[in-house]
Amino acid sequence: MPQLRDIIHIGVNALFLIPGEVGGSETYLCKTLDAICRRFPEIHMTVFSNMENHSMLSSMLSGYPRIEVSRLNFHATHRYVRILCEQTKLPLKARKAGIHVLWNPGYTAPIFASCPQVLSILDMQYRRHPEDLTPIARIATDLLIKRTQQKVRQFITISRFSKSEIIRFTSIPQDKIHVTPLAVEDVDLNNKTRVELLEPVSKWLEPAVPYLLTVANSYPHKNIHTLVEAFERLENQIPHRLVIVGKPRLGEGRLIESLSKISDPKRVVRIYGLSRPALFSLYRCAALFVFPSLYEGFGLPILEAMISETPVVTTKMASIPEVGNNCVVYVDKPIPEAFVEKILQVLGWDPAYRSTFLVEAKKWAKTFSWEKTAEKTVEILVRTAADNA
C-alpha cells in the first residue's frame, strides 16, 4: 500500500528566487529541495518558477521524473510584478496542476488559494532592522505577512530564535511554527594544495598571502563596517589581508566610509559572484573567519567555516549561539576593540590547540543535516495536506 506522501501532489512557490540575489533563502530552498528529491524520489512535486530561475531549477531537478518545473512568464527582478503574479497567477496555476498543499519558502504566500498552504518565515529581520529594506519594500512585506498568516495552515522557520521572533511580532500560535535548521554539505578539500584551492580567486588574491575572511552582503545589520574598523586598528600588527565576499547593499555607504580609513586599500579585497566550490576554498585557506553580524535567522556562514576547518570569531547576537555552540570564539560586544582582541587571540593559538578546536567544530557542524531538514519539511507538508482531506 502506498504511503500518503506517495500520492500527495506538493507545490513549491519559487517565485521569490532570483539566483545570486536573495542570499540565504536561495541556499535554503535549493538545498532543501535537493535533499527532498534524494530522500523521497517517489514524491510528486511541481515547482513554480519565474523567468530568472527556471533554467537553474530545471537543470537542478532534471534527474527526478516526478518533479515538474512550471514557469510563470514574468521577471522577478520587478518586485511588485512578482507580488502581483504570486497573488493572482500562482493560485490559478496551482489549482490547474491539482496541487494538494503549497509550500511557500520565501516569506510570502498567495492570500487566496484553493489548497492548504505552508509558509516559511526565516526571520523577522524586516522588523528588527527596517533599515535593510526600502520603505515601500518594508511596508509590502509587513502587509503580506499579516494578510497571509490568517490563510496559512502551518509555518516553518530555521532556528529557535527565529521562532521566538515570529511569536513576538505576529499573532501566529506557537504550535503552528516548526523549526527546521539549515545545514552544510561536507566538501572534501584535502587533496588540493593552497595554490590549487585559490586558483579561482587568483586575480584578487595571491596564494602566499594570509587573510581574514568574512561572507556577507553589505546590509546594515551585517555590521561589516565594524570589522573593517577593527582591521584598520590591526593593519600594523598582522600581515593579513581582509577578504570580504558579498554584494553592495543598503549599508554600502557606511562600509565605504570605514574602508576609506584603511591606510593601504590593497589590504582589503572585495569579491562576489563566486561558485560554491570557490567559496569553500576561500573558507579553507583563511587564517580566520570573522562574522560580525548583529542579526541572523540562522547564520549559515558559521557552519560553512566550521566544515571547512577554519576558526570563527563572531557575536553572541540572535541565533548565532545556536549555530556556533561552544565551537566558535565570541566577542563580548560587537565593537571594533572586541574584534581586535579576539582576532589576535585566535591568530596566536598554539597549533595543537587550534587543530583540536577545529576537529570539534567540524564534528558539531556535521550534526546539522539537509536530510533532517527535508524529512521534517515533508512531514509538515504531508500532515497539512492530510488534515485537509
Report whether 383 contacts 5 (CB < 8 A).
no
Q: Among all chains, which residue has been given the C-alpha cell 511596508?
A: 139
Q: Which residue has the higher pLDDT, 79 or 311?
A: 311
Whole-Å CA distances, 147 to 103, 109, 111, 151, 172: 16, 9, 7, 7, 12
pLDDT mean over 335-351: 98
Q: Starting at the edge strand that comes first in sequence, how are the strands of the sheet with 329-330 ordered?
A: 268-271, 241-245, 211-215, 288-291, 312-314, 329-330
Helices (DSSP H) in the chain: which residue ranges?
A: 4-7, 24-39, 54-60, 79-97, 125-128, 135-148, 160-169, 194-197, 224-234, 252-259, 276-285, 300-307, 320-324, 336-347, 351-365, 370-387
d(CA 160, CA 332): 22
Q: Which domains does the chain have, with CATH numbers?
A: 4-183+369-384 (3.40.50.2000), 194-365 (3.40.50.2000)
At 153-197, the pLDDT tens digits run: 999 999 999 999 999 999 999 999 999 999 998 887 778 899 999
d(CA 141, CA 127): 10
pTM of this prediction? 0.93
C-alpha cell at 98: 491539482
Helix, strand and coil percent figures for the chain, each rounded to 5: 45, 15, 40
Residue among 259, 265, 321 nearest 291 (CA): 321
pLDDT mean over 303-324: 97
At 99-119, the pLDDT tens digits run: 999 999 999 999 999 999 999
pLDDT level of residue 149 (50, 70, 90 thresholds): confident
- Rounded to the nearest 5°, which phi and psi values hold at 331? -80, 150
pLDDT mean over 134-140: 79
Residue 1 has pLDDT above 70, yes or no: no
Residue among 312, 296, 20 nearest 132 (CA): 296
> To the nearest whole percent, how much of the chain has pLDDT over 90?
83
